[in-house]
Chains A and B, each alone.
Chain A
Amino acid sequence: MNQNGHEPSVMIVDDEEMVITSIKAFLQLETEYEVHGFTDPECAARFAGHHQIDVAVSDYLMPKMNGIQLLGRLKELQPEASRVLLTGHADKQSAIQAINQVALFQYLEKPWDNAQLLLVIQSGAERARLFRDLREKVDELDAAHSSLKEVQKRLLQAFL
Protein backbone atom coordinates (compact mmCIF):
# COMPACT_ATOMS: atom_id res chain seq x y z
CA MET A 1 0.00 0.00 0.00
CA ASN A 2 1.09 3.54 -0.66
CA GLN A 3 1.99 5.97 2.05
CA ASN A 4 -1.18 7.97 1.42
CA GLY A 5 -3.30 4.83 1.80
CA HIS A 6 -3.89 4.17 -1.91
CA GLU A 7 -3.17 0.87 -3.60
CA PRO A 8 -0.69 1.22 -6.47
CA SER A 9 -2.35 2.13 -9.75
CA VAL A 10 -1.42 0.16 -12.88
CA MET A 11 -2.24 1.14 -16.44
CA ILE A 12 -2.40 -1.51 -19.18
CA VAL A 13 -2.51 -0.26 -22.78
CA ASP A 14 -2.94 -2.68 -25.69
CA ASP A 15 -5.10 -2.41 -28.79
CA GLU A 16 -6.05 -6.04 -28.18
CA GLU A 17 -8.87 -6.18 -25.68
CA MET A 18 -8.01 -9.81 -24.84
CA VAL A 19 -4.56 -8.87 -23.54
CA ILE A 20 -6.07 -6.30 -21.20
CA THR A 21 -8.72 -8.73 -19.93
CA SER A 22 -6.12 -11.43 -19.28
CA ILE A 23 -3.63 -9.21 -17.45
CA LYS A 24 -6.39 -7.47 -15.50
CA ALA A 25 -7.85 -10.79 -14.32
CA PHE A 26 -4.42 -11.97 -13.28
CA LEU A 27 -3.54 -8.79 -11.35
CA GLN A 28 -6.92 -8.68 -9.65
CA LEU A 29 -6.45 -12.26 -8.49
CA GLU A 30 -2.91 -11.76 -7.20
CA THR A 31 -2.90 -8.16 -5.97
CA GLU A 32 -5.09 -5.38 -4.62
CA TYR A 33 -3.81 -2.99 -7.29
CA GLU A 34 -6.09 -0.60 -9.08
CA VAL A 35 -5.94 -1.67 -12.73
CA HIS A 36 -6.94 0.60 -15.62
CA GLY A 37 -7.07 -0.89 -19.12
CA PHE A 38 -7.12 1.07 -22.40
CA THR A 39 -7.30 -0.11 -26.00
CA ASP A 40 -6.79 3.44 -27.25
CA PRO A 41 -3.42 5.05 -26.41
CA GLU A 42 -4.89 8.56 -26.70
CA CYS A 43 -7.50 7.75 -24.04
CA ALA A 44 -4.71 6.35 -21.86
CA ALA A 45 -2.72 9.58 -22.21
CA ARG A 46 -5.79 11.66 -21.35
CA PHE A 47 -6.46 9.51 -18.30
CA ALA A 48 -2.86 9.93 -17.12
CA GLY A 49 -3.36 13.71 -17.26
CA HIS A 50 -5.82 13.51 -14.34
CA HIS A 51 -5.01 10.32 -12.42
CA GLN A 52 -1.92 9.11 -10.64
CA ILE A 53 -0.26 6.14 -12.30
CA ASP A 54 2.46 4.05 -10.67
CA VAL A 55 3.18 1.58 -13.45
CA ALA A 56 2.28 1.88 -17.14
CA VAL A 57 2.49 -1.27 -19.28
CA SER A 58 2.10 -0.57 -23.00
CA ASP A 59 2.05 -2.58 -26.20
CA TYR A 60 4.33 -1.30 -28.96
CA LEU A 61 2.37 -1.57 -32.22
CA MET A 62 -0.91 0.29 -31.91
CA PRO A 63 -2.91 2.50 -34.27
CA LYS A 64 -2.63 6.29 -33.87
CA MET A 65 0.28 6.18 -31.43
CA ASN A 66 2.94 3.54 -30.79
CA GLY A 67 4.00 2.41 -27.33
CA ILE A 68 7.16 4.51 -27.27
CA GLN A 69 5.24 7.66 -28.17
CA LEU A 70 2.68 6.92 -25.47
CA LEU A 71 5.31 6.18 -22.81
CA GLY A 72 7.08 9.40 -23.84
CA ARG A 73 3.86 11.35 -23.21
CA LEU A 74 3.46 9.59 -19.85
CA LYS A 75 7.02 10.47 -18.92
CA GLU A 76 6.17 14.16 -19.30
CA LEU A 77 2.86 13.83 -17.47
CA GLN A 78 4.04 11.60 -14.64
CA PRO A 79 7.82 11.33 -14.47
CA GLU A 80 7.69 9.11 -11.36
CA ALA A 81 5.62 6.35 -13.01
CA SER A 82 7.54 3.22 -14.06
CA ARG A 83 7.27 2.58 -17.80
CA VAL A 84 7.12 -0.96 -19.21
CA LEU A 85 6.96 -1.95 -22.89
CA LEU A 86 5.24 -5.28 -23.62
CA THR A 87 5.68 -6.15 -27.26
CA GLY A 88 4.91 -8.98 -29.62
CA HIS A 89 7.38 -7.53 -32.08
CA ALA A 90 10.76 -8.76 -30.90
CA ASP A 91 12.61 -5.92 -32.52
CA LYS A 92 15.94 -4.85 -31.06
CA GLN A 93 15.74 -1.42 -32.65
CA SER A 94 12.48 -0.49 -30.94
CA ALA A 95 13.83 -1.82 -27.62
CA ILE A 96 16.93 0.36 -27.80
CA GLN A 97 14.87 3.35 -28.89
CA ALA A 98 12.47 2.80 -25.98
CA ILE A 99 15.21 2.48 -23.40
CA ASN A 100 16.98 5.60 -24.60
CA GLN A 101 14.04 7.86 -25.37
CA VAL A 102 11.60 7.16 -22.59
CA ALA A 103 13.90 5.79 -19.88
CA LEU A 104 12.13 2.46 -19.92
CA PHE A 105 11.90 0.56 -16.65
CA GLN A 106 11.50 -2.89 -18.27
CA TYR A 107 11.15 -4.42 -21.72
CA LEU A 108 8.96 -7.53 -21.92
CA GLU A 109 8.05 -9.77 -24.84
CA LYS A 110 4.83 -11.51 -25.78
CA PRO A 111 3.81 -14.18 -25.00
CA TRP A 112 4.50 -12.95 -21.49
CA ASP A 113 5.14 -14.90 -18.31
CA ASN A 114 2.70 -13.95 -15.55
CA ALA A 115 5.18 -14.48 -12.69
CA GLN A 116 7.72 -12.25 -14.41
CA LEU A 117 5.11 -9.65 -15.27
CA LEU A 118 3.98 -9.53 -11.65
CA LEU A 119 7.55 -9.13 -10.43
CA VAL A 120 8.13 -6.27 -12.87
CA ILE A 121 4.90 -4.51 -11.90
CA GLN A 122 5.57 -4.94 -8.17
CA SER A 123 9.08 -3.56 -8.40
CA GLY A 124 7.85 -0.82 -10.75
CA ALA A 125 5.23 0.22 -8.20
CA GLU A 126 7.83 0.18 -5.42
CA ARG A 127 10.17 2.32 -7.51
CA ALA A 128 7.40 4.83 -8.26
CA ARG A 129 6.55 5.01 -4.55
CA LEU A 130 10.19 5.67 -3.62
CA PHE A 131 10.45 8.41 -6.25
CA ARG A 132 7.30 10.08 -4.96
CA ASP A 133 8.49 9.83 -1.34
CA LEU A 134 11.78 11.34 -2.36
CA ARG A 135 10.08 14.19 -4.15
CA GLU A 136 7.85 14.85 -1.13
CA LYS A 137 10.91 14.94 1.13
CA VAL A 138 12.71 17.29 -1.23
CA ASP A 139 9.62 19.52 -1.32
CA GLU A 140 9.48 19.47 2.49
CA LEU A 141 13.16 20.35 2.67
CA ASP A 142 12.62 23.15 0.17
CA ALA A 143 9.70 24.48 2.18
CA ALA A 144 11.67 24.27 5.44
CA HIS A 145 14.62 25.93 3.80
CA SER A 146 12.59 28.85 2.46
CA SER A 147 10.79 29.38 5.78
CA LEU A 148 14.17 29.38 7.53
CA LYS A 149 15.38 31.96 5.02
CA GLU A 150 12.28 34.02 5.71
CA VAL A 151 12.97 33.90 9.47
CA GLN A 152 16.60 34.80 8.85
CA LYS A 153 15.53 37.76 6.71
CA ARG A 154 13.12 38.98 9.38
CA LEU A 155 15.79 38.54 12.09
CA LEU A 156 18.27 40.54 10.04
CA GLN A 157 15.67 43.25 9.40
CA ALA A 158 14.86 43.42 13.12
CA PHE A 159 18.46 43.76 14.25
CA LEU A 160 19.98 45.88 11.51
Chain B
Amino acid sequence: MSHSPALQLHQMASIGRLLTGIVHEINTPIGSIFSNNEVTLRSLAMLAELLEDPKPGSLEKAQRIIKTCQNLAAVDQIACERIRSVIRGLKSFSRPDGSEFRRVDLNGQLRDTLKLTQAEFRRRILVETDFGELPAVECYPQMLNQVFLNLLVNAGQAICGEGRITVRTRLEAGEVHISIADTGCGMTPEQQAQAFTAGFSTKPLGEGTGLGLSISREIIEDTHGGSLDFESEPGVGSTFHIRIPVRQGAARCESERA
Protein backbone atom coordinates (compact mmCIF):
# COMPACT_ATOMS: atom_id res chain seq x y z
CA MET B 1 0.00 0.00 0.00
CA SER B 2 1.72 3.19 -1.13
CA HIS B 3 1.09 6.61 0.30
CA SER B 4 -0.71 9.15 -1.79
CA PRO B 5 1.10 12.52 -2.00
CA ALA B 6 -1.97 14.21 -0.50
CA LEU B 7 -1.85 11.92 2.52
CA GLN B 8 1.84 12.53 3.05
CA LEU B 9 1.41 16.28 2.70
CA HIS B 10 -1.42 16.30 5.17
CA GLN B 11 0.59 14.19 7.61
CA MET B 12 3.52 16.60 7.49
CA ALA B 13 1.15 19.52 8.00
CA SER B 14 -0.39 18.03 11.14
CA ILE B 15 2.99 17.16 12.66
CA GLY B 16 4.27 20.63 11.80
CA ARG B 17 1.40 22.15 13.69
CA LEU B 18 2.34 20.16 16.78
CA LEU B 19 6.03 21.01 16.51
CA THR B 20 6.02 23.97 18.95
CA GLY B 21 4.48 21.78 21.60
CA ILE B 22 6.92 18.96 20.87
CA VAL B 23 9.91 21.32 21.14
CA HIS B 24 8.62 22.56 24.49
CA GLU B 25 8.01 19.00 25.63
CA ILE B 26 11.62 18.06 24.89
CA ASN B 27 13.18 21.33 26.11
CA THR B 28 12.08 20.91 29.70
CA PRO B 29 13.63 17.48 30.34
CA ILE B 30 16.79 18.50 28.46
CA GLY B 31 17.08 21.58 30.68
CA SER B 32 16.87 19.33 33.71
CA ILE B 33 19.41 16.82 32.39
CA PHE B 34 21.90 19.60 31.56
CA SER B 35 21.58 21.13 35.00
CA ASN B 36 21.76 17.76 36.77
CA ASN B 37 24.88 16.82 34.84
CA GLU B 38 26.63 19.99 36.00
CA VAL B 39 25.54 19.49 39.59
CA THR B 40 26.67 15.84 39.51
CA LEU B 41 30.12 16.82 38.24
CA ARG B 42 30.41 19.47 40.95
CA SER B 43 29.24 16.96 43.55
CA LEU B 44 31.86 14.42 42.45
CA ALA B 45 34.57 17.10 42.72
CA MET B 46 33.35 17.95 46.22
CA LEU B 47 33.32 14.27 47.19
CA ALA B 48 36.88 13.88 45.92
CA GLU B 49 37.91 16.88 48.02
CA LEU B 50 36.23 15.44 51.12
CA LEU B 51 37.97 12.08 50.65
CA GLU B 52 41.32 13.75 50.04
CA ASP B 53 41.32 15.50 53.37
CA PRO B 54 38.67 14.10 55.74
CA LYS B 55 37.60 16.47 58.52
CA PRO B 56 35.00 16.15 61.26
CA GLY B 57 31.62 16.40 59.59
CA SER B 58 32.96 15.21 56.22
CA LEU B 59 31.04 11.97 56.42
CA GLU B 60 27.66 13.68 56.90
CA LYS B 61 28.43 16.11 54.10
CA ALA B 62 29.43 13.26 51.78
CA GLN B 63 26.24 11.37 52.60
CA ARG B 64 24.19 14.46 51.79
CA ILE B 65 25.95 14.90 48.47
CA ILE B 66 25.39 11.26 47.56
CA LYS B 67 21.69 11.55 48.40
CA THR B 68 21.43 14.60 46.11
CA CYS B 69 23.15 12.70 43.28
CA GLN B 70 20.77 9.78 43.73
CA ASN B 71 17.78 12.13 43.48
CA LEU B 72 19.18 13.71 40.33
CA ALA B 73 19.83 10.33 38.73
CA ALA B 74 16.17 9.47 39.36
CA VAL B 75 15.10 12.76 37.74
CA ASP B 76 17.35 12.07 34.74
CA GLN B 77 15.69 8.73 34.28
CA ILE B 78 12.23 10.33 34.23
CA ALA B 79 13.50 13.07 31.90
CA CYS B 80 14.98 10.54 29.44
CA GLU B 81 11.78 8.50 29.55
CA ARG B 82 9.80 11.64 28.67
CA ILE B 83 12.02 12.42 25.69
CA ARG B 84 11.89 8.80 24.56
CA SER B 85 8.11 8.69 24.65
CA VAL B 86 7.86 11.82 22.49
CA ILE B 87 10.35 10.34 20.03
CA ARG B 88 8.42 7.06 19.99
CA GLY B 89 5.28 8.99 19.12
CA LEU B 90 7.09 10.72 16.25
CA LYS B 91 8.67 7.49 15.04
CA SER B 92 5.33 5.81 14.55
CA PHE B 93 4.74 8.38 11.81
CA SER B 94 8.07 7.97 10.06
CA ARG B 95 8.67 4.24 10.40
CA PRO B 96 8.90 2.82 6.91
CA ASP B 97 7.43 -0.52 8.01
CA GLY B 98 4.45 1.38 9.38
CA SER B 99 2.88 1.35 5.96
CA GLU B 100 2.85 -2.44 6.06
CA PHE B 101 -0.26 -4.38 6.78
CA ARG B 102 0.02 -6.08 10.18
CA ARG B 103 -1.76 -6.89 13.42
CA VAL B 104 -1.40 -4.22 16.07
CA ASP B 105 -2.72 -3.15 19.44
CA LEU B 106 -4.79 -0.07 18.64
CA ASN B 107 -4.83 1.11 22.26
CA GLY B 108 -1.03 1.31 22.05
CA GLN B 109 -1.23 3.22 18.76
CA LEU B 110 -3.67 5.68 20.33
CA ARG B 111 -1.41 6.12 23.35
CA ASP B 112 1.59 6.91 21.10
CA THR B 113 -0.42 9.45 19.12
CA LEU B 114 -1.73 11.06 22.30
CA LYS B 115 1.88 11.61 23.40
CA LEU B 116 2.34 13.93 20.42
CA THR B 117 -0.76 15.98 21.07
CA GLN B 118 -0.21 15.99 24.84
CA ALA B 119 2.45 18.69 24.60
CA GLU B 120 -0.01 20.94 22.85
CA PHE B 121 -2.98 20.04 25.04
CA ARG B 122 -1.48 19.50 28.46
CA ARG B 123 -2.18 22.85 30.04
CA ARG B 124 -5.43 23.54 28.31
CA ILE B 125 -7.24 20.32 27.59
CA LEU B 126 -7.89 17.37 29.83
CA VAL B 127 -7.54 14.15 27.86
CA GLU B 128 -9.44 11.21 29.29
CA THR B 129 -8.90 7.70 28.01
CA ASP B 130 -11.27 4.83 28.52
CA PHE B 131 -9.64 1.88 26.78
CA GLY B 132 -11.46 -1.42 26.64
CA GLU B 133 -9.65 -4.69 26.03
CA LEU B 134 -9.01 -5.10 22.31
CA PRO B 135 -7.68 -7.98 20.23
CA ALA B 136 -4.82 -7.26 17.81
CA VAL B 137 -6.35 -5.60 14.75
CA GLU B 138 -5.27 -6.24 11.15
CA CYS B 139 -4.56 -2.85 9.63
CA TYR B 140 -2.10 -0.35 8.19
CA PRO B 141 -1.03 1.15 11.54
CA GLN B 142 0.71 4.22 10.15
CA MET B 143 -2.41 5.20 8.25
CA LEU B 144 -4.62 4.72 11.28
CA ASN B 145 -2.22 6.82 13.37
CA GLN B 146 -2.69 9.55 10.81
CA VAL B 147 -6.46 9.37 11.27
CA PHE B 148 -6.12 9.43 15.07
CA LEU B 149 -3.75 12.39 14.94
CA ASN B 150 -6.03 14.21 12.54
CA LEU B 151 -9.14 13.73 14.68
CA LEU B 152 -7.26 14.69 17.87
CA VAL B 153 -5.81 17.84 16.31
CA ASN B 154 -9.29 18.77 15.05
CA ALA B 155 -10.77 18.17 18.50
CA GLY B 156 -8.08 20.34 20.07
CA GLN B 157 -8.68 23.13 17.58
CA ALA B 158 -12.43 22.97 18.16
CA ILE B 159 -11.87 23.74 21.83
CA CYS B 160 -11.05 27.37 22.48
CA GLY B 161 -9.80 27.86 26.00
CA GLU B 162 -10.18 24.92 28.32
CA GLY B 163 -12.02 21.70 27.61
CA ARG B 164 -11.99 17.94 27.55
CA ILE B 165 -11.28 15.25 24.98
CA THR B 166 -12.42 11.72 25.69
CA VAL B 167 -10.95 8.79 23.78
CA ARG B 168 -12.80 5.54 24.22
CA THR B 169 -12.22 2.11 22.71
CA ARG B 170 -14.47 -0.96 22.77
CA LEU B 171 -14.78 -4.28 21.03
CA GLU B 172 -18.29 -4.53 19.61
CA ALA B 173 -19.41 -7.55 17.55
CA GLY B 174 -16.12 -8.22 15.77
CA GLU B 175 -15.45 -4.54 15.27
CA VAL B 176 -13.27 -2.13 17.17
CA HIS B 177 -15.16 1.04 17.98
CA ILE B 178 -13.01 4.08 18.75
CA SER B 179 -14.70 7.32 19.70
CA ILE B 180 -13.04 10.69 20.08
CA ALA B 181 -15.29 13.24 21.77
CA ASP B 182 -14.52 16.90 22.39
CA THR B 183 -16.24 19.67 24.34
CA GLY B 184 -15.48 22.14 21.54
CA CYS B 185 -17.51 24.53 19.45
CA GLY B 186 -19.30 21.80 17.43
CA MET B 187 -20.43 22.13 13.80
CA THR B 188 -23.45 23.82 12.28
CA PRO B 189 -25.72 21.63 10.09
CA GLU B 190 -24.17 23.27 6.98
CA GLN B 191 -20.65 22.47 8.19
CA GLN B 192 -21.71 18.93 9.05
CA ALA B 193 -23.05 18.36 5.55
CA GLN B 194 -19.70 19.34 4.04
CA ALA B 195 -17.38 17.90 6.71
CA PHE B 196 -16.12 15.03 4.53
CA THR B 197 -15.80 17.09 1.35
CA ALA B 198 -12.19 17.44 0.20
CA GLY B 199 -11.10 21.07 0.25
CA PHE B 200 -13.72 22.16 2.76
CA SER B 201 -12.30 23.73 5.91
CA THR B 202 -13.71 25.84 8.73
CA LYS B 203 -10.23 26.80 9.81
CA PRO B 204 -8.52 30.08 8.92
CA LEU B 205 -6.45 30.02 5.74
CA GLY B 206 -3.12 28.31 6.40
CA GLU B 207 -4.30 26.34 9.40
CA GLY B 208 -6.26 23.56 7.83
CA THR B 209 -5.55 21.70 4.62
CA GLY B 210 -9.23 20.87 4.21
CA LEU B 211 -8.13 17.32 3.47
CA GLY B 212 -8.11 15.86 6.96
CA LEU B 213 -11.57 14.36 7.18
CA SER B 214 -11.85 13.29 3.56
CA ILE B 215 -8.49 11.48 3.78
CA SER B 216 -9.46 10.00 7.14
CA ARG B 217 -12.68 8.62 5.69
CA GLU B 218 -10.78 7.16 2.73
CA ILE B 219 -8.37 5.40 5.09
CA ILE B 220 -11.06 4.01 7.36
CA GLU B 221 -13.72 3.10 4.82
CA ASP B 222 -11.90 2.33 1.56
CA THR B 223 -8.68 0.88 2.94
CA HIS B 224 -9.95 -0.84 6.08
CA GLY B 225 -13.59 -1.58 5.25
CA GLY B 226 -14.76 0.28 8.35
CA SER B 227 -16.80 3.38 8.92
CA LEU B 228 -16.15 6.94 10.05
CA ASP B 229 -19.01 9.14 11.14
CA PHE B 230 -19.80 11.75 13.74
CA GLU B 231 -22.43 13.58 15.70
CA SER B 232 -22.05 17.24 16.51
CA GLU B 233 -23.93 20.00 18.21
CA PRO B 234 -22.92 23.66 17.96
CA GLY B 235 -21.70 24.93 21.32
CA VAL B 236 -21.62 21.45 22.87
CA GLY B 237 -19.00 19.51 20.93
CA SER B 238 -18.41 16.74 18.42
CA THR B 239 -17.88 13.01 18.70
CA PHE B 240 -16.23 11.03 15.92
CA HIS B 241 -16.76 7.29 15.67
CA ILE B 242 -14.28 4.99 13.96
CA ARG B 243 -15.33 1.39 13.43
CA ILE B 244 -12.81 -1.10 12.07
CA PRO B 245 -13.28 -4.85 11.64
CA VAL B 246 -10.76 -6.91 13.62
CA ARG B 247 -10.15 -9.22 10.64
CA GLN B 248 -9.84 -7.58 7.27
CA GLY B 249 -10.56 -10.78 5.28
CA ALA B 250 -13.95 -11.32 6.90
CA ALA B 251 -14.97 -7.71 6.40
CA ARG B 252 -13.99 -7.77 2.76
CA CYS B 253 -16.13 -10.89 2.20
CA GLU B 254 -19.06 -9.24 3.96
CA SER B 255 -18.81 -6.08 1.95
CA GLU B 256 -18.50 -8.11 -1.23
CA ARG B 257 -21.65 -10.02 -0.35
CA ALA B 258 -23.51 -6.81 0.45
A119 within 8 A of B: no
Known: A22-B72, A26-B38, A29-B42. A88 touches B24 (CB 8 A): yes
**Contact at B35–A23, with CB atoms within 8 Å?**
yes
In the bound complex, do residue A29 and residue B39 qualify as a contact, i.e. CB atoms below 8 Å apart? yes
A26 to B68, CA, bound (A): 9
B119 to chain A, nearest CB (A): 10
Instruction: Give residues 27-46 of B contacting A (CB, 8 Å).
Output: 27-32, 34-36, 38-39, 42-43, 46
Number of A-B contacts (CB under 8 A): 64
Contact B24 A18 (CB under 8 A): no
B123 with A61: CB separation less than 8 A = yes
Known contacts A62-B123, A88-B24, A114-B38, A19 near B32 by CB under 8 Å: yes
- CB <8 Å contact, B27 and A29: no
For chain B, the count of residues having a C-beta within 8 Å of the partner chain is: 24
A28 closest partner in B (C-beta)? B68
The residues of B that contact A30 with a CB separation of less than 8 Å are 42
B6 at the interface (CB under 8 A from A): no
With most chain A CB atoms within 10 A of its CB, the pick from B32, B34, B38, B123 is: B32
A63 to B29, CA, bound (A): 18
The residue that A114 contacts in the complex, of B28, B35, B122, with Cβ under 8 A, is B35
**Could you tell me the distance between the alpha carbons of A144 and B29 in the complex, rounded to whole angstroms?**
54
- B45-56 toward A: CB 8 Å interface, digit per residue (1/0)? 010000000000
B18 close to A (CB within 8 Å):
no
Given A18-B78, A29-B43: A110 in contact with B35 (beta carbons within 8 A): no
Closest chain B residue to A63 by CB distance?
B123
Q: Is the interface of B mostly helix, strand, loop or mixed?
A: helix
| Number of residues on chain A facing chain B (CB within 8 A) | 21
Q: Which residues of A contact B29 (CB under 8 A)?
A: 18
Contact with B along A13-32 (1 / 0, CB 8 A): 00110110111011011100
> What 1/0 flags go to B11-28 for Cβ under 8 Å of A?
000000000000010011
User: Which of B39, B71, B72 has the largest count of A CB atoms less than 10 A from its CB?
Assistant: B39
10 sampled A-B residue pairs with Cβ under 8 A: A15-B123, A18-B75, A19-B28, A22-B39, A29-B46, A30-B42, A88-B28, A88-B31, A89-B24, A111-B27
Excluding A23-B35, A25-B71, A111-B31, 7 further A-B contacts by CB distance (< 8 Å) are A21-B32, A25-B36, A26-B35, A26-B39, A29-B43, A29-B46, A110-B27
